[in-house]
Amino acid sequence: MNNCQYENNLSAFLDGELDGERLAAFESHLNECEPCREAVAQYRAMRSGFEAARSEHLAQVQWARLHSQLAIKMREMRLVEIRRTCQGFAAAAAVVLLSCFLWQGVWSGSSSTTSDAFADAAWERTLIIEGVDEGVTEETDEDLQLAQWIAYDLAPRTGGRR
């Protein structure tokens, strides 16, 4: 380990990340400091060990696999997105339909008297035309008959007195 106060600048120097003033100061220090020079040489040597890693690359077959897999997955993702959009639209449509249904229910509830009146009128018309109408007629005949009987009963009596 190097106990030099400039040691912290070694990496930045090696990576070309020292700016003007710091670089000038470190370069002049390097001329005087043997441990720092050694450290720089060792780090540079160590860097060469990464060369093999830097030369790694995907083989042709790996490229082909990567692109085809990506294409498949990307298509799947698009389908999922389309499905989600459709589900969104379907949900929105359902909400709209439900709202319309509820709205109509409210309106028909408030106009129920009108419709009831129509229904009653229709019902009455039906009663009058079919059957109940006859009943009404019978009742009227009965009343007439009763009136006739009364008139008949009264007539001899009034005549007898006379």
Partner 1 sequence: MALTDAELLNRAVHGGEQAFHELVDRYGDELYRLALVMLRRPADAEDVLQETLLGAYKSMGRFEGRSSVRTWLTRILMNQVAMRRRDRSRHAALSGNRDEPLATAARPDTTSAASWRMDLDQALDGISVEHRDVIVMREVQGLSYEEIAQVLSIPRGTVESRLHRARRALRDLLGDYKPQAKS
Alpha helices (H) in the chain, listed in sequence order: 10-14, 20-32, 34-48, 51-54, 60-110, 112-129, 132-161
Segment interacting with partner 1, rule: CB under 8 A, options 27-35, 49-57, 115-123, 144-152: 49-57
Q: Which region, judged by CB under 8 A, interacts with partner 1, from 7-15, 25-33, 93-101, 104-112? A: 7-15
- For position 65 contacting partner 1 by CB under 8 A, the verdict is yes
Site for partner 1 contains 41 (CB under 8 A): yes
Residue 35 Cβ, how far from partner 1 at the closest point, in Å? 12
Contact status: 94 vs partner 1 (CB under 8 A) = no
* Half-sphere exposure of residue 23: CA atoms within 13 angstroms, side-chain side: 9
| Choice from 25, 46, 127, 147 touching partner 1 (CB under 8 A) | 46
**Alpha-carbon dihedral angle through residues 35, 37, 38, 43, given to the nearest 10 degrees:** 120
Please answer whether residues 18 and 26 qualify as being in contact, where contact means their C-beta atoms are separated by less than 8 angstroms: yes
Q: Is 21 in the site for partner 1 (CB under 8 A)?
A: no
35 and 2 Cβ atoms separated by less than 8 Å: yes
Q: Of residues 6, 26, 36, 39, which one binds partner 1 by CB under 8 A?
A: 39
Among 24-32, 34-42, 99-107, 135-143, which window interacts with partner 1 (CB under 8 A)?
34-42
Q: Which CB atom, from 61 or from 151, has the smaller least distance to partner 1?
A: 61
Which residue has 């319309």 as its token pair? Answer: 100
> Smallest distance from the beta carbon of 2 to partner 1, in angstroms?
8
Report the alpha-carbon angle 101-105-110, nearest 5.
Answer: 155
